[in-house]
Each structure stands twice: as C-alpha cells, then as structure tokens.
C-alpha cells in the first residue's frame, strides 16, 4: 500500500527512489512503485499554532518539454492583455530565467511548494533530447521541483526509460554522458491512473504528501486517459490508462483516511480558454465560462475533497474557477508551456479542520520574463551540456529565406515537412503519391534570425531536431482512395470531432474544409484532388507518413489499416535531406504558401 512522504531535504541529499524496475524483466509491466520514506522538512508539532490559518504558496508550471534555453519564435513569446483591451507579445521562457523567477517568488514564503502538471520531458530540443532528457531532469532538480504528474510525453521512450529518469543510471544503449553518472530525479513522478497490465497496480506512486510542521497537503497525479492515442504503441506497451476522475476520487479517499484533507490534483489534461492572453479572465461572465475542453468536465466531476487542479497538455494559459460537484468554487490552472509562465497560487490552510479554505484561494499566472538575472547554477548546467551537444547541433543542414511557422490550420512548416516526407518516400519507392503529417508532431518553428552565431537563414541540426524530436520513422503504405477520403474526414469526426486534428499535406493534394458544417461533412468530398485529379475511391495510393500516424495514432484508425508497409529512416533524416538537397546560402528555401487547404468559415 502506498505510504505518505515528506518534502525532500533541499540540495545535496536525495530522496529514496519511487520507481523500481525488476532486473531482467522484459516489459514495462514489471515496473512497480517503490514508496518514499523520507525525513520531514520541518519539525512536526501540534502543541503550538501561530494561528488558525496558514497561507501556503503553490508554484506550478507544466509542459516544459525539456526547453532549457529560451524557445525560438512564437514558442518563446506569450500574449498579454492590456487594460485598454489590446494585446501585446512578450518574450518569455528559458530555465535560467524560470529559476530566478521561482526563487524570487519563494522569498518571504516559508510554506512553499513547487509542483508540475506533466510533460516535463519528451519532444525536447536537441540540448535535452539528444541525451534522453537527462539535462532537463537535472535542471528540474535545481529548480527545487517538489512533485509532478506524468504526462503523455513521459512515455515517449517507454516506462522503463521513465523509471531510469526517476531512479538514475546510465542509458542502456548510449551509456553515460561525460564523466558523471546520471542520478535521476530528486522529485517524485506520480501516475495514479497508469497501471501495469499484469498486476493492475500503478507503475509509479499514485500520490505524495507534502508536510511542514502541522500543515499537510496531498498531491494526486494523473495523465490523460487517452495517452495511448497520442503516444506510440511501443511507448505504452504493457500499460493501461484509467479514467482521470475515477482515479482521483479513489486516491482522495485514501488520503482522507490517512487524515490528509487538503488535496491538489496534478492533471495532465487541459482546456481551451476563449482568449490566448495569459492574463485573460476566464471567469467572465461567470465562473469558468471562459474555458472549454476536457478539463472542464473533469473539474466538474472530481470529488469536492480535491481543493485545486493544476493542469496541462493543451499548452494554454488559464486561471479559472470551475465549480465542483457540490457547487463550491475550485481553482483550475495551467501555465502555458515551455517554461514561459508559472502560476502562483495561495492556498489558505485551516489548521483546525486540516482543509483548504476555498473561498480565500488566490491564483495568477506570471510571465517568465528575460529581464531578470540568469540563475548561475542553471547557466553552468546548460553550458556543460552544450559542450557535449555542440559538435552535432551546430552543423548546418539547410537555408531558409524567412521564418517558416508552425501555427494555423495549415502551416508553412507543415507543408514543408509533408513535402520532405513525400520526397523521401519517392526515394524509397518512386510510386509514392502523397504524404501526411500530424500537426502535433511539429514542435517548433524554423526561424530566420541567427540564434547561436550560425548566421541568419542558416538551419542547424539542433533547429531541425527541435522541429521533429520524436525519432518516428517514415513509413510507406498502400491505401485505397476511399480510405484516403475517410482519413481526411477523420480529422474532424470520431475522436477528433470536438477538437479537430488537421493533417498537414504534401504538394499536389488539395481539398476544401467547410467549417460552417458539422462533423465529417466539413471535409467536402467532391473537392479532394491529387495533382488536379479527383481521388478515385477504388484506386490504390502509396502514402508516406510517420510511424505514429501509420499506426493509427492521433485519432486516425484508417491509417492503421494500410497494407504493404515499408519502414524507412527517421523523419528528422527526411527533413534534413530535403533541406540540404534543396537549399543553399545563395538559393534558400522560401516559406511555403500554406494554400493547399481551402477553408470556408
């Protein structure tokens, strides 16, 4: 049975490990939670209370994705709503600055907790991703992160690799980097709803208790139940993902039985605010009215025993009050992504009841601005890893004439990647007809301005890696014209109807997306053309896509029905070869027009 634990001693001492992998076992299902038993952060006493109420600071962030250095382009900016109703963009992010902001925020707060909502690693830039995200974990240790839930990207390399990130040790294939052995995370990863298929038990500790003197707050961590839909099958092999609400309610009861009445849920699932401004009031006109999406239903149904929800996954920013099932106000927060924001929440702990006084909870998002001093210890960490990464990351792979962005229903970068995969597919099989790319697999833009002294317009390997860090292979498969039509309709129907996932398409494929219609009808069947010709439902087409899509991922089950599969190199190799073959300093690639999908609104 899981045991409670206390905050780890800061700096220089490590907590006991939370996750162990049994030696010699071949599957992720062998992972079993090892339960923490660490010393209290402060002397526990109930003989003297300085007052009935104690303010506890909860600092939180989510979806860091290993972004240690300031993110490039739009990924490194946030939108700020001005008093006059206009908006402006602010440069934000970079762990050197995040560390400084968090340390400044903690001053004057003896009761302070730092928590995260998952996706701390995975889909990371080269500086962290090249080293299986060891740099990101080391940085989070220095940020004094207390606890985080897992996110879907924590499973990109499978549960055994997640165990290594928690427990430490050299990578089983690549070994140790430099002269240091990786020590693992000082903080617990929580995965209450991720179960070993064989044992039916959580693969990580489901909850954790922060305790200082007479104040106790429990944390339950879950990721989205649909994680298998957004992660490769290999990454979630041997695992079962359970309903978020049922799981949180289950462990809230466990904590209550242990006398822990103040509870925060760390939920790697999110929402969509009506405004992209980080300081938008999503409680207007009424509580929670300005936010939609999966987290709203979760928040409405999670037991009232939970006092606040720290969320993530959608990379949006919001601080909302969504009523719980009893109709009481409850704070739900998300701090965008990539370390651009952090949330500062004040939880007022009632020593008499042991619970949070909900009516006095205050919360706000804050920008991780770059006008503060860099944290020297984080700078040292980044510099050390950059020395190892530089020989690989600084190599030029292509040239562009301007920014190539990754936002919009159809993005210029999405077109470029689809074209790169089509070109690579034709190298494998000249009969390849088209390529499809999922927008969620495009993690960063290509920016024209030089970032590391390489020169304007130069695309380095590190920049290309940041765009496609998943190491998916480019797969070829045969599908019928009828299946192609169905695939395009699956963008806006079935699992994707509520939140459409629009595929990025290669040159020659065109169609109309009519947003005035509903469901599958939004893709106008008669408008679908390949090289100017109507798609023949009975014909066979050779399609290139990444291995995630080819397996039916992202809500495209029909893609998983293709035949005559052929597996090529990874998608980053396809992009690199395309850029190298088609660009030079004298003749850079122009940003694609993103005009293959005609949108009717």
Residue-wise pLDDT for 307-345, tens only, equals 999 999 999 999 999 999 999 999 999 999 999 999 999
Q: Give the Cα separation of 433 and 428 in Å (integer).
A: 12
Task: Assess contact for 271 and 226: CB atoms under 8 A.
Answer: no
Name the band, by pLDDT with cuts 50, 70 and 90, for residue 72.
Answer: confident
Lowest mean pLDDT among 34-38, 288-292, 492-496: 34-38
Checking if the pLDDT of 2 tops 80, the result is no
What mean pLDDT comes out for the span 110-114?
A: 98
What mean pLDDT comes out for the span 406-415?
A: 96
Residue whose pair of structure tokens reads 């439902």 in the numeric block: 537
Q: Give the Cα separation of 593 and 246 in Å (integer).
A: 46
DSSP-assigned letters across all residues of 405-436: ---SSS-HHHHHHHHHHHHHHHHH-TT--EEE
Q: Which of 153, 366, 118 is nearest to 266 (CA)?
A: 118
Name the band, by pLDDT with cuts 50, 70 and 90, for residue 41.
Answer: very low
Checking if the pLDDT of 236 tops 80, the result is yes
Checking if the pLDDT of 573 tops 80, the result is yes
| Domains located in the chain, CATH noted | 54-367 (3.60.21.10), 395-600 (3.90.780.10)
Those residues whose C-beta lies under 8 Å from the C-beta of residue 406, and which sit 6 or more positions away, are: 412, 413, 414, 439, 442, 443, 444, 445, 467
Q: What is the pLDDT of residues 460-490, one digit of tens each?
A: 999 999 999 988 899 999 999 999 999 999 9
Residue 250, SS3 per DSSP:
helix
Q: Which of 420, 415, 424 is nearest to 566 (CA)?
A: 424
What mean pLDDT comes out for the span 543-553?
A: 93
Checking if the pLDDT of 262 tops 50, the result is yes
Residue-level pLDDT at 363: 97
What mean pLDDT comes out for the span 1-25?
A: 36
Name the band, by pLDDT with cuts 50, 70 and 90, for residue 6.
Answer: very low
Q: Give the Cα separation of 392 and 396 in Å (integer).
A: 10
Q: Which of 397, 428, 446, 464 is nearest to 544 (CA)?
A: 428
Residues in a beta bridge with 435: 544
Residue 275, SS3 per DSSP:
coil
Task: Assess contact for 476 and 426: CB atoms under 8 A.
Answer: no
Residue whose pair of structure tokens reads 């087409």 in the numeric block: 541
Residue whose pair of structure tokens reads 């949070």 in the numeric block: 356
Q: Give the Cα separation of 306 and 246 in Å (integer).
A: 13
Q: What is the pLDDT of residues 174-207, one digit of tens each?
A: 999 988 899 999 999 999 999 999 999 999 999 9
- β-pairing, 341-350 vs 362-367, is antiparallel
DSSP-assigned letters across all residues of 429-485: -TT--EEEE-GGG--S-B-SS-SSSS-TTEEEHHHHHHHS-S-PEEEEEEEEHHHHH
Checking if the pLDDT of 24 tops 70, the result is no
DSSP-assigned letters across all residues of 327-378: S---EEEEE-STTSEEEEEEEEEETTTTEE-GGG-EEEEEE--SSSPPPHHH
Q: Which of 201, 200, 133 is nearest to 165 (CA)?
A: 133
Residues in a beta bridge with 60: 115, 343
- β-pairing, 189-190 vs 194-196, is unpaired
Residue 93, SS3 per DSSP:
coil
Query: Which tops the pLDDT comparison, 106 or 51?
Result: 106
Dihedral in degrees, nearest 10, Cα atoms 426, 124, 333, 76: -90
| Mean pLDDT taken over the chain | 91
Q: Give the Cα separation of 443 and 15 in Å (integer).
A: 33
205 phi, psi to nearest 5 deg: -55, 130
Query: What kind and span of H or E run contains 80?
Result: strand 77-81
CA angle (546 as vertex; 135, 572 as ends), nearest 5: 45
Residue-level pLDDT at 50: 62
DSSP at 197? T
Name the band, by pLDDT with cuts 50, 70 and 90, for residue 74.
Answer: confident
Residue-level pLDDT at 595: 97
Q: Say how many Å lie between the first and final Cα of the chain, rounded.
A: 54
DSSP at 277? B
Checking if the pLDDT of 394 tops 60, the result is yes
Residue-level pLDDT at 13: 35
Task: Assess contact for 515 and 523: CB atoms under 8 A.
Answer: no
CA torsion through residues 184, 187, 193, 199, sign: positive
Residue-level pLDDT at 180: 82
Checking if the pLDDT of 223 tops 90, the result is yes
Q: Give the Cα separation of 510 and 596 in Å (integer).
A: 5
What mean pLDDT comes out for the span 513-519?
A: 96
Residue 389, SS3 per DSSP:
helix
Tokens of 266: 């760390």
Those residues whose C-beta lies under 8 Å from the C-beta of residue 198, and which sit 6 or more positions away, are: 27, 29, 30, 238
Task: Assess contact for 304 and 324: CB atoms under 8 A.
Answer: yes
Those residues whose C-beta lies under 8 Å from the C-beta of residue 323, and which sit 6 or more positions away, are: 287, 288, 300, 329, 330
Tokens of 276: 């992209």
Name the band, by pLDDT with cuts 50, 70 and 90, for residue 44.
Answer: very low
Residue-level pLDDT at 33: 35
500 phi, psi to nearest 5 deg: -55, 140
Whole-number Cα distances in Å, 532 to 189, 371, 461, 479, 486: 51, 52, 35, 19, 19
Query: What kind and span of H or E run contains 141?
Result: helix 134-142
Half-sphere exposure of 530 (CA within 13 A, CB side): 19
Checking if the pLDDT of 4 tops 60, the result is no
Checking if the pLDDT of 21 tops 90, the result is no
Query: Which tops the pLDDT comparison, 47 or 584?
Result: 584
Checking if the pLDDT of 16 tops 60, the result is no
Residue 116, SS3 per DSSP:
strand
Query: Which tops the pLDDT comparison, 251 or 454?
Result: 251
Q: If you compute the radius of gyration of the chain from its CA atoms, what whole number of angstroms results?
A: 24
Residues in a beta bridge with 585: none
Length in residues, the chain: 601
Name the band, by pLDDT with cuts 50, 70 and 90, for residue 30.
Answer: very low
Q: Give the Cα separation of 464 and 453 in Å (integer).
A: 16
Q: Give the Cα separation of 412 and 540 in Å (integer).
A: 28
What mean pLDDT comes out for the span 204-218?
A: 97
Residues in a beta bridge with 313: none
**Percent of the chain's residues with pLDDT above 70:** 92
């Amino acid at each position: 049975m899981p045991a409670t634990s206390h905050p780890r001693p800061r700096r220089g001492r490590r907590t006991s490990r939370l996750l162990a992998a049994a030696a010699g076992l071949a599957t992720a299902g062998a992972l079993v939670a090892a339960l923490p038993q660490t010393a209290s952060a402060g002397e526990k006493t109930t003989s003297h209370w300085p007052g009935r109420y104690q303010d506890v600071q909860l600092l939180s962030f989510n979806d860091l994705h290993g972004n240690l250095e300031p993110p490039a382009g739009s990924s490194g900016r946030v939108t700020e709503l001005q008093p006059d109703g206009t908006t402006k963009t602010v440069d934000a992010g970079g762990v050197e600055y995040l560390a400084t902001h968090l340390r400044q925020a903690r001053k004057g707060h003896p009761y302070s907790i730092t928590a995260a909502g998952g996706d701390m690693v995975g889909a990371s830039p080269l500086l962290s991703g090249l080293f299986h995200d060891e740099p990101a974990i080391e940085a989070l240790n220095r940020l004094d992160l207390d606890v985080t839930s897992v996110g879907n990207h924590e499973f990109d390399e499978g549960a055994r690799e997640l165990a290594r990130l928690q427990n430490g040790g050299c990578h089983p294939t690549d070994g140790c980097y430099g002269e240091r052995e990786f020590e693992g995370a000082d903080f617990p990863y929580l995965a209450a709803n991720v179960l070993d298929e064989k044992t039916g038990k959580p693969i990580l500790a489901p909850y954790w208790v922060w305790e200082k003197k007479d104040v106790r707050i429990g944390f339950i961590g879950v990721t989205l139940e649909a994680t298998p839909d957004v992660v490769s099958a290999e990454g979630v092999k041997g695992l079962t993902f359970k309903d978020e609400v049922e799981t949180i309610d289950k462990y809230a009861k466990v904590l209550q039985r242990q006398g822990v009445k103040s509870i925060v849920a760390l939920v790697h699932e999110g929402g969509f605010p009506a405004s992209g401004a980080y300081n938008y009031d999503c409680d207007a006109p009424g509580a929670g009215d300005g936010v939609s999406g999966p987290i709203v239903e979760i928040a409405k149904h999670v037991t009232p025993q939970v006092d606040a929800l720290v969320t993530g996954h959608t990379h949006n920013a919001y601080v909302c009050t969504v009523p719980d099932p009893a109709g009481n106000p409850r704070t739900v927060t998300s701090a965008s992504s990539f370390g651009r924001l952090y949330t500062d929440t004040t939880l007022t702990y009632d020593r008499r009841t042991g619970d949070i006084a909900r009516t006095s909870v205050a919360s706000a998002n804050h920008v991780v601005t770059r006008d503060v001093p860099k944290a020297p210890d984080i700078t040292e960490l980044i510099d050390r890893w950059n020395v190892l990464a530089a020989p690989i990351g600084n190599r030029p792979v292509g040239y562009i004439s301007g920014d190539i962005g990754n936002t919009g229903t159809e993005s210029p970068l999405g077109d470029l990647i689809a074209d790169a995969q089509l070109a690579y597919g034709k190298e494998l099989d000249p009969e390849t007809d088209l390529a499809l790319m999922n927008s969620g697999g495009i993690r960063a833009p290509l920016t024209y301005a030089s970032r590391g002294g390489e020169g304007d317009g130069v695309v380095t390997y590190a920049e290309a890696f940041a765009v496609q860090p998943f190491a998916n292979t480019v797969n070829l498969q045969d599908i019928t014209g009828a299946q192609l039509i169905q695939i395009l309709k699956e963008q806006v129907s079935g699992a994707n109807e509520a939140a459409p996932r629009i595929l990025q398409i290669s040159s020659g494929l065109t169609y109309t997306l009519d947003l005035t219609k509903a469901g599958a009808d939004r893709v106008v069947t008669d408008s679908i053309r390949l090289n100017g010709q109507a798609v023949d439902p009975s014909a066979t087409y050779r399609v290139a896509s990444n291995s995630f899509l080819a397996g039916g991922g992202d809500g495209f089950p029909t893609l998983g029905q293709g035949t005559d599969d052929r597996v090529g190199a990874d998608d980053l190799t396809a992009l690199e070869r395309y850029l190298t073959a088609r660009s030079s300093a004298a003749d850079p690639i122009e940003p694609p027009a993103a005009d293959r999908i005609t949108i009717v609104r």
